[in-house]
Structure 1
Amino acid sequence: MHYEELEALDPRNPTYTTRIETPPPHKVAVLILVQQYLKVKNAATDAGVAYPLQARRNFCMLLLKLIQYPDMTYNDLYHLLTSPRYKINALHLESFEKAMSNIFTLGIETLCDFAERQNWDNLLSEELGVSQFSIVGLYIRRVCVILERMSFPEIMALYKNICLYYEKGVRTLAIGPRRVGGALTSAQDNLFPRAAGGGSDDPGNTLEESALDTETVHQDRNPHSKWSPKQADLFVAQQCKLLENNELRALPPIELQTKINEIIQDNPLNSQAYFLGYMNQLRLRDFYGAMDALHRAFDRSPMQTATQYEQKGFQYFSVNLAVLHACFDHRREALNALKECIMLAQECGDKRCLDLANSWYCLLNSNKIDPFEKSLPDIQDPGLVQSLSLAIQYVVKFGAQCGYLPLDLFELLLKSDELNNKNSILEHASDSLALRSALWCLYGRHEISSLYAQLLLQLKKTWAFGDIGNSESVSKVLASLSLWLNVQGEHQMSAVVQSHARSRFPRHPNAKNWMISEYLIVIQQCIYRCRWQEALKACNQLYLLDKNAGNLQRAAVYIAKGYFNTARRIICKLLQSANLDVLTQIRVLVLQAYTTIGEDTVSSETAEFLIQASVLATSSYMEYEQAVIDMVLAQALLKMKMPQKAFQAAKNCMEKIYENGGIYDRAKMDFIFVCCMVAASESEVRKRDNLQKGISILERAVECFKKLEAHAKVLDIFVYLAKTYHELNQLDERNKYACKFKHYYSEYPIAREYLGMAF
C-alpha cells in the first residue's frame, strides 16, 4: 500500500496537502462510465428485463483493465468501448456519450453535481452499486475523495481539462473513421501488451536507438496518458514476474523500455521502475546499461521511511549488484558486493537478505565449503521453506560434482519434493525434476534422463493451464532433449525441439542452454562428416559460452582429424584448469588416451590414462563413462595383439553401451565387438563361423553410421570385411565388400588419412 497517499489525504497533516494530484479527465470519464452502467443496469432490472450477460462480462473485464493501466485520450477510450473484444451495450454507450456531452455543454454545474458526496455514495451502495471493498470500489473512493476536497479553482481547472479532453476526442472521431469492429488501436496495445513472439517491433528502431535509451520518451506520447503510482507498481510487478518465469509473454525489450521511460517521466522517484529497466538491460547483455539502471534504482530507494512497513535499506541493491557482476563473470567484484550486503543486512537485522547473500556467497565459493554441513538451514523454521528447498538443490548439485553417493543425493531431492508439494512451490518442483534429469544424465542413464525431461514438460503444461512455462528448468530439459534426440539419430526431431527452445528463450540467460546444445550438435555432426572447418568454427562459438567445453570439443576435433600434437597441447591446458569438474576430467583423460592410439601402434601411456579415468569414474559412480573407458581399452588391447583380453573388455561394457548410449557409440561397440570376437577365435574355421555370425551385427552398425552420415566408419567396416575375407581366402566375399567399398567411396569420397581412426 502507498501510505504516503493516506497521509496526503489526512486534513490534520498540512505538510502533505501539496502531494494531492488533480485527477486527470480519463479517471473522471471512467467514473462516469461506471455510473451510467449502473443506471442502465438498474433500469433494465426495474423494467423486468435481464441485462445481457455477455455485456456485463465484457464491461467488468474492460473496467479491470482500465483501472490498472495508464490513462488514454477520449477517442482511444471510445475505440476501446466499441472494439469487438470489449464492446459494451449500445444503451450503455449512448448514455455515456450523453453524460460526457452534458458536462461539455451544460457547464461546470454538471461536474459539481457529479462530485457531490451523495452521488458517489450511491455508486458505492451495496445493493445497487459497487462494493466499496472491491478493487473498483477502492478506485472510486480514491478519486471521489480527492474531488470532494478540491477547491473551486481546482474544480474549474479540472472542468477546463475535461472540456479540452472531450473536444479533442470528438474532433478526432469526426475526422477519422470510428473503426467499430476494427483492429486494436494504440490504446488497446497499451492495455494488452503483445507477446514477444506475437508482434513485431518497429523496424526503424534499433536497440541502440530505443531499447538502450533510458532518458527519453517518444515525442508523440499522449499527454493524457499518465501513469499513476499504483498503475506503475502493478505494471512493474507483472513484467518483473514475466521476465523471471516466462519471458516470452513479457513485452519485447524496445517496447518495455518505452513503457519504463514513460513511468519514470510520470513517477521519477519510482525505484522499482529503474529496477525493471535493470532486468530489461540484463537480458540484452548490456552491462553498462544494467549498471546505470541499478545505480539509479539504488539512488531513488529510500534508506528508511517513517513507517514500519517500508524499512528497506541498500542491502537488496548490493546483492543485485553482486548478481549483475556474477552474470558477467566478474567474480571478485561480486564477492566484494556480497560482503557489503552481508554487513548491511546484519546492521538492519534483515535475516532474509542475509540468507540470500550467504547463498550467493556459497555459490561463488562452491569449491571451498562442505555443503552438507554449511548450506542447509533449519527445517523447522517455517520462514525458510523456500530457502531450504533451494539449498537442498544446491547441495545436490555440489554433491554430484564432488562424487557423493547417488542414493544420498536422491534422498535429499525427495525432501525437497516434500517441501515443494506441501507449500505448492511449483517453480522449485520443476527445478527439482530438471535436476533429476541432469543427475541421471551425469550417471549415464540417458533414457531415464529423457523420461524425466518429458515428464517435466508435461507437468509444466498442466501447471500453466495449457501453456508450457518458460522457466530455466524448461530451458535446460529442452536443450537436454535435443542433444539426446541427436545422438539417437533423430535429427529432424532434434531440430524441432531446438527451434522450439530458440523461439521460447530468445535471450540470455536461458538462451545459453540451447545455444550450448546447438553448438555441441553441430560439432558432433561435423566430426561424423569430416567437416573440420565448420566444427572448429562451432568450437570457437562454444568457447565463448563455456571455455572448458569449447576446448574439450576442439581437442576431439583435432583427434578425429589426426592432429594429435595439437590435441595434446589443448588437453594439457585443460588439465591445468582449476575449475574442471569430474566428468570433464574423465573425458579429457579418455581423449588423451586416444592421442596415444595410432593406426597400428599403441603407446605405453594409454593404459595409464585409462586407469586414471577409470578411477575417477568409479569414485563418482559414472557407470556409462566407465563403459566408454572399457570400450577404448578393448580397442587398445586389440591393437596390442591381446584379443582375448580385448574380447573380455568388450563384453564387460556392451550392456551399458547398448542400454544408455547413442547410436554412434552402439554402432562403434558392434564393430569393436565383432573385431574382438573374430580375433579371439582359436582356429580358422572358428574365425569363419564367428565372422559369419557377426555379419548381421556389422550390417546394423553400417545402418547406424549411415543414419549419422559417418561415412568414414562405413568405409572402415567394408575395409575390415574385405581384408578379413581375404585372409580367410574367401575371394567372393572379399570382392563383394571391396565392390561395396568402391561404390560407397565413389558416392562419398573420404580422404585416406581419415580412415581407420580409433576415435
Structure 2
Amino acid sequence: MVNSESSSSHDIWTFKDVKKSSVLEYVTPYKICVVVLINEMCALKSKNRESIPTRRILFRADKKPIYRRDFCMLMLKLIQSPDMDFTELVKLLESGKYQIQPELIENFKIKVEELLERDVGCSPDVLTNVERLPHNELNGYELINRSSKIGLFLRRVQLFFEKLSFSQMVAIYKAYQSYILSRKRPARESKDLSDSEDLEETKENRPFRRKSVEEMELSSICADTSLSMRLSPNEASQISELVGAQPPVGLWSRRQAELFMAQQAKHLMEDPKSALPPPELQNKLKDVIRTNPEQAEAHFLSYLNCLRVKEYCGAVDSLFHYFDRKVPSSFEDDAVRCKGLRYAALNLAILQAHFNKKNEALCALTEAITLAHEANDNVCLQHAQAWLYKLQADDRDILIQRSISKCEELNLNYLSSFGLQTLAEYAAKKGDSPSHVFEMLSRSDVINMQYSQMDLLLTSLGMFVALWSMYGRSDLAALAAQQLLHLDPIEKCQTLTHGDSLILAVTCLVNYFANQGEYGIGWALVDHGRQRAPDSKWWLWAENVLYFIESLHKGQWQHAHLAVNQLSTVDKQESLLRLSELLLMKGDRQGALSYSTAVLKEPYSNPVTYIRALHLSAKAHPKGAVTKLACALELANYHYIDYWKALITLEIANIQVDMGLGFQALKLVDKTLLDVLCHGCFFDTSDALFLYAECKVITANSANRFSVIHEAIRILDRAATLAKHVENYCKVKKIVYLQAILCNNVGLTAERNKYAYEFRILDEQYPTTTDSPLHSIQ
C-alpha cells in the first residue's frame, strides 16, 4: 500500500511550490517524530548497522510480512492524521493495534531522548537524512519509494526544512523540547515545589529539565542561541506562536479538518454515542480553528456540540461566529448575501426554539420569513413555516395543511412527511377519530418508504407507540415499540434510534412491564436504554416512574416519595400526579386533592394528564366526585381514550356501591370489564375483579346466593393472584379478608379457616400500618 503510485497532481512538490508563510505550519515536532520513526525503521533494516553504535538495534531483523504490513498501515495513519501529542503517539505505538518490532519502539524512544539532550544542531542531522532515504531504496531501504505515500511525505518535509531560517530552526527546536517534555510534565507538576529536596536535580536528570512552554520567552530563545541577532517582526510572531503561552496543539490540514468535521457531524446527527465526548470534541475544534481560521464549519459543529449538552451561551456564540464567516460581505451579490442572512435568522430561530424561548424564536423566525419573501425563496419559506406551526398555537391546522400542499408542489418530501406527522399529532390532541389520525401517519409512511427517509419512518413508529399509549391500548403500544427496536438492526439504520424514538419505545416497554409486575425486566430495559442513549434526561423519568410504581405496589411509601421528588426535576406535572396518587393510597385525601388540583390549574396540554388529574381529584373529594368524573368521562369520550373511560366508569360504579345502588353498579361493571381485562395492567384488573365480585354479592338474592358467593370467591382468587404478581400484598390481604367473610356467611368452614390462616401469615410478613388502606376495613 505504501509503495503504490500516486496519481494526484498536487502530490508532486518542488521548491518553488513552498511558501514561506506555511513553513512553520508543516515542520512541526510531531512530524519530526514521524521522520525519526521512519529513520529507525530504515536503520533496523539496513545492512550497515555498525555505523550507529549509540543505539541498540537488532542485528537480525525479523522479516515477517505482518510487521511490514502493519508498519505501512501505521505510517498511513500517522501521515494522514492531524498532529497528536507525544503521549498519544507513544500510546498508539505501544497499544498493540499495529504489530511492529519491539526493538523499533525502543530505538525510537532512545533516539527521541538523544535529540532532546543535544542542541539545535540535531535537527539538521535528522532532517537532512530525509533527502537521501528515497534515493537508497536499493541499499536496504526497500520500504520507501519516491512515489509512495512515505516518499512524498519525506519529500515535503525536506522541502519545507530547506526554507527554514535560523530563527525558525530555533523555534522548531524549542517547540520540540516542549513537545517531548509534555509527557513528563504532569508527574513533575504533581510534586510539592516547596520541598527543597524536590528542587535539587542530579546530573542524570539534568538533561530532561528544560524550560516548559509556559516558562519560555522570546528573549530566552535568543540567549540560548548565543547569537546577538535581531529578529524581524514576522519571525518573532512565528516563534511566539510555537513557544507562546499555549501548549502545542494538533496541526490540521484543510482536508483533515473537513474529514474530521464531516465524520463528527454525522455521528452527532445519527448516533451521538459514537461521537467524541463533548469536552474532547470541543478541544479538537479549538485546535482546528486555531490552525485553520477559515474553517467556518468548525463553528457550526461546535454549535451542534453545545446543543448536545444544552449549553445555551456557547451555542449562540458558535452560531454567530459561523454565520459571521459564512455570510458574504457587502460587495457580494445581493441575492447571495440575502440568502446567508435569511438562513442565519432561521438557524437562530431553531436555536431559540430548542431552548424553549418561544418569543425570541418567533422574532428570529419573522425576520427569516421577511427576508425569504423579499428574495422569493420558497424553500426557505417552507422551512420557516414548518417551525412557525411548531411554535404558534393559533390556527395550527391551517398552517400545517398549507405547508403540506406547498411542499408537495416543491417536491420537499421530507417536509411533507414531517407535516403529516405533526398534523396527526395535532389531530389526536384535538379529538379527531383514531382512523383519521392513523390514516395521516400511513400517508407519511408511504412517503418515507418511497424516498428512503428512515429517520422519519422511525419517528412515525414512535408516534404509533405514543398514540396507542394515549388511547389505552397497552399491548398494541408495546408491539409498536418492539417493531421500532427490531427495525434498527434489520434496516441497518442508526439515524434516530439513538434519539427520541428509541427513548419513547424503551420507556413505553418499561412502563408496560412495571404495570405487569415485571420489575426486573423494567430495570434491565432502563439500563439497556441508558447504554444506547446515555445523554438523554428521560432515562431519569423512566427510572423514577418504575421505582415509584414498584414502591407503591409494595407499600414502601418513603421510597415512593423519594422517586416523586427526583421525578419533579424532569416532569413537574407527572410528579404532582404521582404524589397525589401516593397520598391517596396513604389516606391523606386533603393532600391528594391539593396536588391534583394544582395539575388542573396548569395550562391544558395533554388530555390524558387532565383526565388523570380529574380522576384523582374525584377519588380524594367524594362530595363533588360525580361532577368531576362526568367531566373526565366526557373528555375521554371526546378523545377516544377508551381505557380511561373504562376506569372512570368503574369509579362511578364504586360510588354507586357505596350509595347502595348495586344493580346500577353491576351494569356499569359488566359494560366496561372487558376493556380493563384486555388492556389493563394487573393492578387495575385486580381492582376491577374485586369490584365485580362485590357487585355480584350485593345483587345476589336468597335463591341463588350460595352459587353467586361461590363464583365471587373464585373471581377473588384471580384478583388475589394478580395482586400477588405485582407484589401488592396489602391488596392481597384485603381480598383474602373478604373471602374469609364470604365463606363464613355461607357456612364454608374449611375454606374460611384456609383464608383466615392465609391472612394471618400475610399479616405477620406484611403488618398493617395506620396509613394502610386495610386499616379502614371494619
- State the TM-score, normalized to the length of structure 2: 0.73
Asked whether 1:720 is paired with 2:745, we answer no
Residues in 1 aligned to 2:770 and 2:126: alpha-carbon distance in whole angstroms? 96
SS where residue 568 of structure 2 aligns?
Answer: helix
Residues in 1 aligned to 2:423 and 2:762: alpha-carbon distance in whole angstroms? 53
Offset of residue 164 of structure 1: 8.6
Offset of residue 496 of structure 1: 0.4
Residues in 2 aligned to 1:749 and 1:363: alpha-carbon distance in whole angstroms? 53
Q: Aligned AA for 2:27?
A: P
- Hey, what does 2:716 align to over in structure 1? 698
Q: 1:355 aligns with which of 377, 382, 385?
A: 382
- Hey, what does 1:494 align to over in structure 2? 522
Offset of residue 404 of structure 1: 1.6
Asked whether 1:751 is paired with 2:775, we answer no
Q: 2:27 aligns with which of 24, 28, 39?
A: 24
Distance 1:54 1:446, change over 3 A: farther
Asked whether 1:444 is paired with 2:472, we answer yes
- Hey, what does 1:326 align to over in structure 2? 353
Offset of residue 705 of structure 1: 1.5
- Hey, what does 1:629 align to over in structure 2? 648
Checking the alignment, whether the CA contact within 8 Å between 2:303 and 2:316 is kept in structure 1 is yes
Structure 1 stretch 327-336 or stretch 458-467: which is displaced more? 458-467
Structure 1 stretch 555-564 or stretch 664-673: which is displaced more? 555-564
Checking the alignment, whether the CA contact within 8 Å between 2:585 and 2:773 is kept in structure 1 is no
- Hey, what does 2:454 align to over in structure 1? 426
Offset of residue 307 of structure 1: 8.4
Distance 1:544 1:164, change over 3 A: closer
Distance 1:746 1:108, change over 3 A: closer
Checking the alignment, whether the CA contact within 8 Å between 1:73 and 1:165 is kept in structure 2 is no
Distance 1:75 1:613, change over 3 A: closer
Offset of residue 689 of structure 1: 1.2
Residues in 2 aligned to 1:23 and 1:627: alpha-carbon distance in whole angstroms? 74
Structure-to-structure mapping, 1:1-400, within 5 angstroms = 22-25=25-28, 62=74, 65-66=77-78, 69-72=81-84, 80=92, 84-87=96-99, 153-154=163-164, 223=248, 225-304=250-329, 313-347=340-374, 351-366=378-393, 368-370=395-397, 373-378=401-406, 380-381=408-409, 383-400=411-428
Deviation string, structure 1 residues 68-91 (Cα, Å, up to 9, x no partner): 531246896577467532346999
SS where residue 313 of structure 1 aligns?
Answer: helix
- State the TM-score, normalized to the length of structure 1: 0.74
SS where residue 252 of structure 2 aligns?
Answer: coil
Checking the alignment, whether the CA contact within 8 Å between 1:104 and 1:166 is kept in structure 2 is no
Asked whether 1:708 is paired with 2:723, we answer no
Q: Aligned AA for 1:251?
A: L
Residues in 1 aligned to 2:161 and 2:740: alpha-carbon distance in whole angstroms? 104
Checking the alignment, whether the CA contact within 8 Å between 1:457 and 1:468 is kept in structure 2 is no
Offset of residue 461 of structure 1: 2.3
- Hey, what does 1:600 align to over in structure 2? none
Asked whether 1:411 is paired with 2:476, we answer no
The size of the alignment, in residue pairs, is 674
Residues in 1 aligned to 2:249 and 2:626: alpha-carbon distance in whole angstroms? 78
Checking the alignment, whether the CA contact within 8 Å between 1:325 and 1:331 is kept in structure 2 is yes
Asked whether 1:655 is paired with 2:674, we answer yes
Checking the alignment, whether the CA contact within 8 Å between 2:328 and 2:336 is kept in structure 1 is no
Offset of residue 621 of structure 1: 1.7
Residues in 2 aligned to 1:218 and 1:586: alpha-carbon distance in whole angstroms? 67
Residues in 2 aligned to 1:413 and 1:467: alpha-carbon distance in whole angstroms? 19
| Backbone CA RMSD of aligned residues | 4.9
SS where residue 336 of structure 1 aligns?
Answer: helix
Distance 1:610 1:79, change over 3 A: closer
Checking the alignment, whether the CA contact within 8 Å between 1:277 and 1:290 is kept in structure 2 is yes
Checking the alignment, whether the CA contact within 8 Å between 1:635 and 1:672 is kept in structure 2 is yes
- Hey, what does 2:513 align to over in structure 1? 485
Offset of residue 713 of structure 1: 1.1
Q: 2:759 aligns with which of 730, 738, 741?
A: 741
Unmatched 5+ residue regions in structure 1? 1-5, 10-15, 39-50, 117-126, 131-135, 174-216, 598-602
Offset of residue 570 of structure 1: 2.9
Distance 1:524 1:473, change over 3 A: same
Q: Aligned AA for 1:70?
A: P
Deviation string, structure 1 residues 603-638 (Cα, Å, up to 9, x no partner): 4x4333233222222221222122222222222222
Checking the alignment, whether the CA contact within 8 Å between 1:71 and 1:227 is kept in structure 2 is yes
Checking the alignment, whether the CA contact within 8 Å between 2:475 and 2:679 is kept in structure 1 is yes
SS where residue 376 of structure 1 aligns?
Answer: helix
SS where residue 545 of structure 1 aligns?
Answer: coil
Distance 1:144 1:428, change over 3 A: farther
Q: Aligned AA for 2:675?
A: K
Distance 1:168 1:726, change over 3 A: closer
Q: Aligned AA for 1:476?
A: L
Distance 1:80 1:577, change over 3 A: closer
Checking the alignment, whether the CA contact within 8 Å between 1:389 and 1:416 is kept in structure 2 is yes
Checking the alignment, whether the CA contact within 8 Å between 2:650 and 2:669 is kept in structure 1 is yes
Unmatched 5+ residue regions in structure 2? 1-9, 14-18, 43-62, 116-121, 136-144, 184-241
Offset of residue 575 of structure 1: 2.4
Residues in 2 aligned to 1:392 and 1:536: alpha-carbon distance in whole angstroms? 41
Checking the alignment, whether the CA contact within 8 Å between 1:304 and 1:310 is kept in structure 2 is no
Checking the alignment, whether the CA contact within 8 Å between 1:20 and 1:146 is kept in structure 2 is no
Deviation string, structure 1 residues 324-379 (Cα, Å, up to 9, x no partner): 43344332223223223333444566554443332222112245411552342445
Q: 1:642 aligns with which of 655, 658, 661?
A: 661
Offset of residue 456 of structure 1: 1.4
Deviation string, structure 1 residues 248-293 (Cα, Å, up to 9, x no partner): 2222233223323323333345443333333333333443444444
Structure-to-structure mapping, 1:455-534, within 5 angstroms = 455-464=483-492, 469-507=497-535, 510-511=536-537, 513-534=538-559
Residues in 2 aligned to 1:75 and 1:538: alpha-carbon distance in whole angstroms? 45
Offset of residue 584 of structure 1: 1.6
Offset of residue 413 of structure 1: 1.8
Structure 1 stretch 314-323 or stretch 59-68: which is displaced more? 59-68
Residues in 2 aligned to 1:681 and 1:708: alpha-carbon distance in whole angstroms? 31
Offset of residue 403 of structure 1: 1.6
Residues in 2 aligned to 1:331 and 1:266: alpha-carbon distance in whole angstroms? 37
Checking the alignment, whether the CA contact within 8 Å between 1:443 and 1:624 is kept in structure 2 is yes
Residues in 1 aligned to 2:244 and 2:157: alpha-carbon distance in whole angstroms? 31
Checking the alignment, whether the CA contact within 8 Å between 1:322 and 1:334 is kept in structure 2 is yes
Q: 2:567 aligns with which of 504, 528, 542?
A: 542
Residues in 2 aligned to 1:665 and 1:61: alpha-carbon distance in whole angstroms? 63
- Hey, what does 2:618 align to over in structure 1? 593
Offset of residue 484 of structure 1: 0.8
Checking the alignment, whether the CA contact within 8 Å between 1:375 and 1:395 is kept in structure 2 is no
Distance 1:611 1:340, change over 3 A: same
Identity across the alignment (%): 28
Distance 1:58 1:634, change over 3 A: farther
Offset of residue 429 of structure 1: 1.6
Residues in 2 aligned to 1:469 and 1:34: alpha-carbon distance in whole angstroms? 44
Distance 1:450 1:265, change over 3 A: same
Residues in 1 aligned to 2:734 and 2:243: alpha-carbon distance in whole angstroms? 66
Residues in 2 aligned to 1:74 and 1:286: alpha-carbon distance in whole angstroms? 32
